[in-house]
Structure 1
């Protein structure tokens, strides 16, 4: 039975007649049968007089169940029903339970230790040629019900006392520290953990396996901070371990709230569907997002690992201590953790220039997805379990964190953090809604935060600010931005409060707010100016052609964040047709002397997007685009060189690697020759022949021009890697082969067990980079659909990712209709939003090529790249 009388009509939530207070849970994973035995007793408060109890169960066999009343009376249900749609079991009893009474619900059950990376599941790994298993959990968002019968909603917090039984030689972990151990036979023991604070079911975690650990040398109070892995990997967790101890201390000071648990464990899992999961006191990670090898890993890996670790630790406050009331407020968890992870990394690594990185990374990811009609608001009404996974995307993470950055700039960083701290303290061990956050921020700032910010969180999309110049006058107006460019009146109803951030020769004026459709700016058209200074605002800006040209020449007056935003806007407006593609080409062609890694990253990203949209066009044009790219990067790449020194600044090394990759992609013969020679030495045993920072680029070019010999070399590196990120680089490069026979082998590996299920999208990313791969992917998807649908249940997030990768590479309306037709007869529940976004992406590229094909050819011809 499911109660839909909630804040959102039709939302599937449990009835409110009883509320859980405490779970006493015992589990025993059975690695020989891939099952687990379980018993749970749940203390319940009866809130309303009733004769039934409904709770969530999924893929559990219930063997025995009863309730014990406060008077000690045992009652068996007279009827038990299961609702497959709601994933609930309802027990009906012969007599009513009185309001304000208490009950103990006991259930004995058997579950499946599944291979779906959901609930209580098994992870597989090889050790000395032997297949081994560990049992681990992933409960978020709605898979706790797979592990044990539960009231699986975030606002039904309870305490948990957990006991695990199994082999004496294995390691047992849960959210809390061990209370005691007890032998139950010669070979088995039961480990009982201390009781948790009040917490949501999606944060419950437990692990059983053969694990080793490293402990941080940096002392965070008297709390042990450890990284666990399967044997042999633990030392590669040292970097994350030390960072975690420092980050916990940092967050304590920032939020003025003590970390409340007695320990912090972080565990690398071989099979893991997400990047990481913030389980309270027991964070789980993909191996590649936790482990770092100073001599063999890339700087990009170091940044990624740092950001993920900082993100998950921020969740110990945002989400764990104070939890969103329901999943439509997911952003309260994810956006804050994302924003705080950047802030934390900036605190420890100033030389990384984190906020410059943010503008090219989080902000652009947000604007890209939110430019689609098939996007969704930051606060999105969700009604069913299968809808929740689809909102773990760039809106809930990146757009939300970009809005927070904008809000912090408006209020001032110190006031913003003080308001956030007050919000966390007020709702500790409870649940909160977005309005609660606005209230706390309003209290400390004296500003009406809600009226300004609600538009940004409750409306889909964002504005395009168009700058219009006349005789010495400048005005701006706002309308909805859509990547497809076809904004209709019904799309354009919202007026956003826009922080204009006007940069002039006098400095940056952040006081100007556009609260209406249009207004005049306090600047003359004859003067230098730029809107959205430092790219603090979540919107695009469109200038007249002459202003694009003058801003390109005035680069020295712009900050790095300004320059990134300018290039990003020029690129995005080219796609949508609000500005000509030649404006983008002219802008970036004048910036060959640019020194910032992040600006170059944005330039190359936007030029690459242009090349991807034109990938199926005539060879003469695609070659001309390559020649244009070469003119931008080759000389600079040659000057910078392809060797790396440990004492070189991080961003200098990253720029070298980026330019080398772009030069290779543009067909630079000198760089390609270096790559081939380096690879030959590398596979012959000279592992120092390839610096980790350019390893992926070299693997990719060797594959794209290679045959059977190179395929076997790269497959061998994948199966016997010297580091986790080398393994991933080799796997992705397997998709770069353009030989159809080799691609068929690679695609076969995705389903024959060679590639872990969690990683099957990685070679697909390589295939999406070239024409042969794009076609091969969609044909494979159609052929293997039934198997893929079974392997990747639509209730989980990976199927949607696979569908997007396999379809979004197309650039014509013919292919749009072909993709649409294939899925017309399919059940798209659980990935319908991802499919819609993919189709919209195809449409936008088709429109772009059709609209600007002549403009691009004309520019390439007039600049000497096309005859």
Structure 2
């Protein structure tokens, strides 16, 4: 099947330079603008087509060698989001340069896209700032432009604003001059050649902190609205060090004269890598060294490192078109883990990666409704849907696998070669493979094309018979029903096998192969879980591996538990195999292995949500048997002398014990909440805060609800706000849940945060049922409040269906959406339906087995 035709602008002209002036008004929420675009004429013609969206255009003028001319005709295409100006015949002559000037008016919208407004409260008063979010195709909302990544140009930007406001853009300030008693004009230096989606400008009352660590003579600053700036110091210091680190790693100097990072109160994504002016959600940028929990600190570190990696891989060298989005996002994800590992060795970042990024990738890519890493994109509407775990997590997992195969040093040299070769230009995936092949001397392209162009990944089935060990690969699907047409790809698997004699490595690129091993030997496939595949063993081998935990690395043990959990969902292995395996790991020391075990048993609990209570109570008893003693012994007081991971494990055990009915821990959490609300805030460690709030909601009523809502309104801490929102979904009383869902649409909760309470509801039966009723009964309001252009709408659909586990619920979802416009989230909807189907099959297949195992092992009567 041939790829769909790209929806792109005609190639008769090419932009070279933009001279842009903007005048935003934060009272009327309008902005006036003027843009002059220098164009090279590639083909003799009589028209210019460029992108515009929700802009009112006036005074259009074309300057040529012959003079100035206005268009004879102007037309707009809603589908293409473009305006076409027609001039006299052959006004545009090939080889000449012309200038197109346009005046325009736009709206500082509340859609979190283009040039938009963000609100915040200061001393009880609502205030606003104007900011931008151009990726993927929203620069056209801010000014008329050629809004495609491979149409790079330079930009000279100036902003007219009130004198008390700070004005920021990609570059440093060239000059600032007064234009009236109250207003100034800020002119910025010209940018290097860059794509429109990276253009940024911000106007508002902003304060900053600057890094104390000096990165050359380049100022590295974090800006926020007043009162938050001190919490930006952590990110400022990390950013200065990360820029220096990336300079050395890539062997390419950071080319801009400054690096500004800005916390925005209303923001659709996590962060955006605008060149020299990176924007963030507040929670993904700010760290209070005494009040921020460690999980948030890790998240902030990873996000900052991710965005700064983009300054090279994405900004200097940019993907040619959106079907190569993974080139930007996968690599920035991989490099962010590498950067964090460089600075924080005791965080064990690559162990974290195996339980986090890799498992997210394998989970989504196990669905038929997944997509290849390189996915054909034709229309602007399709682009937002590919900002998902395939483009980020699967891509970064494939890069980690490749780096392990080539050797990390060789891999990075190849990447540096690629960026240098395509500096200030655009590239495609084959260009990266070419550079890696040139540097490594290996045929990277033929091996890696399969991993990026094919959907899915393999399951390696290990068979042991007559003392011989044979492996066979076929596609893995969560639904377990692989058909011949699903299984045509033979993956080149970089296979590493851990044995008593060390690690053996080779490329397994056949359907079946006998290994040079005896079934009496100790072995474990996918050493350190570097490969992007699952492994299934004979039942006896699973038992042996569970008993041989001391021979396995932490990454091995995470992978083993993850594979056992995933294979039970798809039916390749019994769920009781997972339950037995986790029982072997009761003395496990690693936070990451515990996290994986608790998550996998949690997945069983959620799949059995609408089943017999005795099974759910038995599963809770199993978790208590694993964590309670360990939790009680560790306690819930934290000490700064404890390591990062010791503290995270203590918090995890407390959370698991509370969620699974440990009364001692539940009582402790209730007491901590009562003290916290009574203003004894020092008594509640930030690492326990989210769990304590959840316990208060799960076991609480109107009193706890009101306390949490007040806390949400009053706390200045971004991560605490998120913890409160997640807990609000945990109430079981229908009246309180109705109040929560009302808050999602009445402005109490910011649009960007609506999925937080929804995710909380999706974890328990009353919440699942209430959330579905809310979404279906108020769908029109939801679509109006959350524009389809935002990926948020897809996540609303995901949350609303995430807790469903039966065929009847599958049919309800299918029926509701059959007459809806699902264009903006059709992939997410297909994935949701497939996930419900797999859970229904899982429960039907393994219910008796799980019930019997729980009885035999004393967890249920």
Short-chain TM bin: over 0.9
1:141 paired residue number: 136
Spell out, residue by residue over 1:367-390, the C-alpha distance to the aligned partner (whole angstroms, 9 max, x if none): 000001111000000000010000
CA contact (8 A) 1:679 1:689 kept: no
CA contact (8 A) 1:125 1:132 kept: yes
In structure 2, C-alpha distance between the alignment counterparts of 1:116 and 1:753, rounded to whole Å: 14
Q: TM-score, normalised by structure 2?
A: 0.99
2:403 to 402, 408, 413: 408
1:192 paired residue number: 187
In structure 2, C-alpha distance between the alignment counterparts of 1:693 and 1:766, rounded to whole Å: 18
2:157 paired residue number: 162
In structure 2, C-alpha distance between the alignment counterparts of 1:20 and 1:784, rounded to whole Å: 44
> Structure 1 residue 795: deviation in Å?
2.0
2:801 to 799, 807, 817: 807
2:176 to 181, 204, 228: 181
1:42 paired residue number: 37
> Structure 1 residue 95: deviation in Å?
2.3
Matched, 1:786 2:783: no
2:523 to 523, 529, 534: 529
CA contact (8 A) 1:53 1:92 kept: yes
2:383 to 385, 388, 403: 388
2:553 to 548, 554, 559: 559
2:312 paired residue number: 317
Where 1:521 maps in the other structure, the secondary structure is strand
In structure 2, C-alpha distance between the alignment counterparts of 1:210 and 1:280, rounded to whole Å: 21
CA contact (8 A) 1:808 1:839 kept: no
Matched, 1:347 2:342: yes
CA contact (8 A) 2:37 2:101 kept: yes
Where 1:483 maps in the other structure, the secondary structure is coil
CA contact (8 A) 1:351 1:650 kept: yes
> Structure 1 residue 792: deviation in Å?
1.4
2:426 to 401, 421, 431: 431
Q: Counterparts in 2 of 1:194-273, with a 5 A limit?
A: 194-273=189-268
Where 1:15 maps in the other structure, the secondary structure is coil
> Structure 1 residue 74: deviation in Å?
0.9
In structure 1, C-alpha distance between the alignment counterparts of 2:274 and 2:569, rounded to whole Å: 40
In structure 2, C-alpha distance between the alignment counterparts of 1:367 and 1:382, rounded to whole Å: 22
Matched, 1:517 2:516: no
2:595 paired residue number: 601
1:676 to 644, 647, 670: 670
> Structure 1 residue 356: deviation in Å?
0.4
1:625 paired residue number: 619
Where 2:136 maps in the other structure, the secondary structure is coil
> Structure 1 residue 761: deviation in Å?
0.6
Matched, 1:508 2:508: no
1:769 paired residue number: 763
Spell out, residue by residue over 1:25-46, the C-alpha distance to the aligned partner (whole angstroms, 9 max, x if none): 0111111211110110000000
Matched, 1:373 2:368: yes
In structure 2, C-alpha distance between the alignment counterparts of 1:85 and 1:542, rounded to whole Å: 48
The count of residues paired between Structure 1 and Structure 2 equals: 859
Matched, 1:746 2:740: yes
In structure 1, C-alpha distance between the alignment counterparts of 2:221 and 2:621, rounded to whole Å: 50
In structure 1, C-alpha distance between the alignment counterparts of 2:398 and 2:310, rounded to whole Å: 18
Runs of 4+ in 1 over 6 A off after TM superposition: none
In structure 1, C-alpha distance between the alignment counterparts of 2:302 and 2:355, rounded to whole Å: 15
Where 1:94 maps in the other structure, the secondary structure is coil
Where 2:641 maps in the other structure, the secondary structure is coil
> Structure 1 residue 768: deviation in Å?
0.7
In structure 1, C-alpha distance between the alignment counterparts of 2:89 and 2:215, rounded to whole Å: 53
Matched, 1:547 2:548: no
2:330 to 326, 331, 335: 335
Q: Counterparts in 2 of 1:21-60, with a 5 A limit?
A: 21-60=16-55
1:464 paired residue number: 459
Q: Counterparts in 2 of 1:623-702, with a 5 A limit?
A: 623-702=617-696
1:110 paired residue number: 105
Spell out, residue by residue over 1:760-818, the C-alpha distance to the aligned partner (whole angstroms, 9 max, x if none): 11111111111000011111001111111111121221100111111121000100010
Matched, 1:448 2:443: yes
Mean CA deviation greater in 473-482 or 787-796: 787-796
> Structure 1 residue 618: deviation in Å?
1.0
Spell out, residue by residue over 1:675-718, the C-alpha distance to the aligned partner (whole angstroms, 9 max, x if none): 01111111111001211001100100110110110001111110
Q: Counterparts in 2 of 1:476-491, with a 5 A limit?
A: 476-491=471-486
Spell out, residue by residue over 1:96-131, the C-alpha distance to the aligned partner (whole angstroms, 9 max, x if none): 111011110011111110000000000000000111
> Structure 1 residue 621: deviation in Å?
1.1
Matched, 1:577 2:571: yes
In structure 1, C-alpha distance between the alignment counterparts of 2:476 and 2:601, rounded to whole Å: 21
CA contact (8 A) 2:4 2:376 kept: no
> Structure 1 residue 9: deviation in Å?
4.0
> Structure 1 residue 48: deviation in Å?
0.7
In structure 2, C-alpha distance between the alignment counterparts of 1:15 and 1:291, rounded to whole Å: 43
What is the CA RMSD across the aligned residues, in angstroms? 0.8
2:833 paired residue number: 839
In structure 2, C-alpha distance between the alignment counterparts of 1:369 and 1:434, rounded to whole Å: 22
Structure 2 unmatched ranges of 5 or more:
none
Spell out, residue by residue over 1:730-788, the C-alpha distance to the aligned partner (whole angstroms, 9 max, x if none): 11111110000000001100111100011011111111111000011111001111111
> Structure 1 residue 8: deviation in Å?
4.5
In structure 2, C-alpha distance between the alignment counterparts of 1:89 and 1:374, rounded to whole Å: 35
In structure 1, C-alpha distance between the alignment counterparts of 2:791 and 2:687, rounded to whole Å: 30
Where 2:847 maps in the other structure, the secondary structure is helix
2:846 paired residue number: 852
In structure 2, C-alpha distance between the alignment counterparts of 1:341 and 1:65, rounded to whole Å: 44
> Structure 1 residue 75: deviation in Å?
1.3
Mean CA deviation greater in 849-858 or 243-252: 849-858
In structure 1, C-alpha distance between the alignment counterparts of 2:198 and 2:65, rounded to whole Å: 29
In structure 2, C-alpha distance between the alignment counterparts of 1:753 and 1:792, rounded to whole Å: 12
> Structure 1 residue 70: deviation in Å?
2.9
In structure 2, C-alpha distance between the alignment counterparts of 1:44 and 1:9, rounded to whole Å: 28
> Structure 1 residue 722: deviation in Å?
4.5
In structure 1, C-alpha distance between the alignment counterparts of 2:283 and 2:402, rounded to whole Å: 33
Structure 1 unmatched ranges of 5 or more:
1-6
2:355 paired residue number: 360
In structure 2, C-alpha distance between the alignment counterparts of 1:619 and 1:113, rounded to whole Å: 52
CA contact (8 A) 1:464 1:539 kept: yes
> Structure 1 residue 265: deviation in Å?
0.1
Q: TM-score, normalised by structure 1?
A: 0.99
Matched, 1:705 2:705: no
1:589 paired residue number: 583
CA contact (8 A) 1:82 1:88 kept: yes
> Structure 1 residue 538: deviation in Å?
0.1
1:613 to 587, 607, 612: 607
In structure 1, C-alpha distance between the alignment counterparts of 2:616 and 2:259, rounded to whole Å: 52
2:292 paired residue number: 297
> Structure 1 residue 159: deviation in Å?
0.2
CA contact (8 A) 1:484 1:843 kept: yes
CA contact (8 A) 2:22 2:31 kept: yes
CA contact (8 A) 2:4 2:377 kept: no
Mean CA deviation greater in 454-463 or 780-789: 780-789
In structure 1, C-alpha distance between the alignment counterparts of 2:557 and 2:155, rounded to whole Å: 51
